[in-house]
Amino acid sequence: MNWQQLLLVFILLSSLIPGIIIFGMPEEKHRLRTVFNLCGATVKIALIVVMDIGIYLGHTFEIRIPLIPGVELLLNGDPLSALFATLSSVLWLLTTIYAVGYLEGSPNRSHFFGYFSLCVTVTIGIALSGNLVTFLLFYEMLTLTTYPLVIHRGTGKALRAGRNYLIYAFSSGAVFLVAVIWLQNVVGPVDFSAAGFSPLFTNSHSTVLMLIFMLLILGVGVKAALVPLHGWLPQAMIAPAPVSSLLHAVAVVKAGAFGIVRIVLDVYGAQNLLLLGILPLLGGIATITILYGSLRALQQDNLKRLLAFSTISQVSYIALGMSLVDQPLAVIGGLVHLVHQGLMKITLFFCAGNLAETLGIHHISKMDGVARRMPLTMTAFTIGALGMIGIPPTVGFVSKWYLGLGSLAAGNWWLLGVLAVSSLLNGCYFLPILTRAWFGKQQGPWPEELHTGRFETRLMLLLPPLITAFTVLAAGAVANAQISPLSWVRFIVKEYGL
């Protein structure tokens, strides 16, 4: 084993080992558990940064474990996996801090944080997967490790949400398995590093390959919450706020979107997809999802439910970018949105959690004047919301700018229209919330106010949204800097030779 392989192993172990230790830890050892959690998360970020630098300098990170002829597990660090791994590990650290604050005083925390750690291990596994079999392995494990978190509250509603989540996720997992095996039967094993199988197959097996592409997208589409496979996501918002952040920004939805990216860029490759002419279908689904999610969000009064529909809409920008795979600018827009959407959405969920935890506010109709009680939280919320609408200099603007340029370059005027309508709809559901919060008049006492002393809420609840909100602004303002999500995405696109 060389140092690159050891690094990959340690990246996975840095959250697996704390997870196992936490499972075995007595419930009352809160401080020790927090120490383990935060140490694991920090070490993980450090290791991933080392990997990022290594990848930038051109080292290869690869572990192969053969299973049966034609089937092997392959961990591979490439620029794209570095993007996802860095995003997940950084957001995981913040979510862990937030979760420690959020769950203060509630029972079963060992269980919760144990699965939390396993969940991020698996997500990093998805990021590092080097072929479809490995991806499938971690993808199914992600369902297993997130399920206990979704039903953590143990209420009937939570159990129902969990059941739906499982049915959606495992049915799609089964479809995905069939598609993977079928694809392997047609074109042989495909590594992600190959940038697509040989176009010779496309000529001889075009119908089958189209069908397999649709099955693969169906398989990952459930987690990416493409309409009409999105049903589980709004229900799953019943889970505690840190879990929602995990589902929406760090792990699950992201894993689905990441899967779409891998299938488009690495399994099929731009060339084959253009030959098959199936990309308009993906673009169409993405468009429908973007508009449908926004329209449904308009009707919501429950804040977390609104955010869930907003995720459905926003994540499809990534799919939209992928459907214009021959336009480098659109690909940049889609890929960078993977990071940007995560930053914005996690900010919003943290803030929604703060409102619920500190004041007992779950509904938009109760939010009048809340900004005067919690100014910092609502500032962060405002930044996140403006980002969602796409107002400069937030990161949301950067994604939309590139997607727009890409669709123009492709000569797709109507896609520009879709982006504009989507921004408008985002404005329609976020701006009323902001005006209510900042300019509304408080009506009666807050439902369940928690007295928290010096700050507007617990410090551990307050810091994470402020940090992410700051990043939303900063990463947008200095998007062209040497170290920013955008420049890393440019590096990725250059590697793909687009």
Between 137 and 473, CB nearer to another protein: 137
- A 10 A CB-CB count for 493 gives 19
170 near another protein, judged by CB under 8 A = yes
Enter the tokens of residue 239: 């889970």
Residue 144 within binding range of another protein, rule CB under 8 A: yes
For residue 466, state whether it binds another protein (rule: CB under 8 A): no
**x/- site string to another protein, residues 147 to 166, per CB under 8 A?**
xx--x--xx---x--xx--x
Closer residue to another protein, CB minimum distance, 73 or 408? 73
Q: Which of 67, 105, 414, 483 binds another protein (CB under 8 A)?
A: 67
Nearer to another protein, 242 or 465 (CB): 242
Please calculate the CA angle 356-358-362 and round it to the nearest 5 degrees: 20
Q: In whole angstroms, give the CA distance from residue 126 to residue 253.
A: 12
Contact between 107 and another protein per CB under 8 A? yes
Q: Pick from 7, 85, 133, 425: which binds another protein (CB under 8 A)?
A: 133
Q: Quick one: 23 or 455, whose CB is closer to another protein?
A: 23
Distance CA 485, CA 483 (A): 7
Q: What is the smallest separation between the CB atom of 164 and another protein, expressed in angstroms? A: 12
- Ranges within 261-300 binding another protein (CB under 8 A): none
Per rule CB under 8 A, is residue 420 in the interface with another protein? Answer: no
111 scored as a contact of another protein (CB under 8 A): yes
Q: Is 65 in the site for another protein (CB under 8 A)?
A: yes
Residue 463 touching another protein (CB under 8 A): no
Contacting residue, 4, 5, 42, 108, with another protein by CB under 8 A: 108
Q: Which is nearer to another protein, 183 or 246 (CB)?
A: 183
Closest to another protein by CB, 146 or 289? 146
* CB nearer to another protein: pick between 107 and 280: 107
**Contact window for another protein (CB under 8 A) among 118-126, 139-147, 405-413, 417-425:** 139-147
Any contact of residue 188 with another protein (CB under 8 A)?
no
Burial of 189 by CB count in 10 Å (0-12 exposed, 13-18 middle, 19+ buried)?
middle
- From the list 42, 184, 271, 487, which residue makes contact with another protein (rule: CB under 8 A)? 184
Which of 17, 137, 195, 473 touches another protein (CB under 8 A)?
Answer: 137
Report the residue from 13, 54, 182, 205 that binds another protein according to the rule CB under 8 A: 182
Taking the least distance from each CB to another protein, the nearer of 185 and 442 is 185
Angle at the Cα of 364 (from 362 to 369), degrees rounded to 5?
105
Q: Which of residues 34-53 bind another protein (CB under 8 A)?
A: none
Contacts with another protein by CB under 8 A: the residue count is 37
Q: In the bound complex, what is the minimum distance in angstroms from residue 51's beta carbon to another protein?
A: 23
Tell me if 1 contacts another protein by CB under 8 A: no
Residues 9-28 close enough to bind another protein by CB under 8 A = 23
CA dihedral 394, 52, 146, 265 (to 10 degrees): 80
Q: Pick the closer one to another protein by CB: 27 or 301.
A: 27
Minimum CB separation from another protein for residue 183, in Å?
A: 10
User: Judged by CB under 8 A, does residue 362 bind another protein?
Assistant: no
Residue from 141, 281, 428, 474 in contact with another protein (CB under 8 A): 141
Minimum distance between the CB of residue 172 and another protein, rounded to whole angstroms?
10
Of 281, 303, 253, 302, nearest in space to 126 by CA: 253
CB of 247 to another protein, least distance (A): 17
Contact set with another protein (CB under 8 A): 23, 65-68, 71, 73, 107-108, 111, 133, 136-137, 140-141, 144, 147-148, 151, 154-155, 159, 162-163, 166-167, 170-171, 173-175, 177-178, 181-182, 184-185
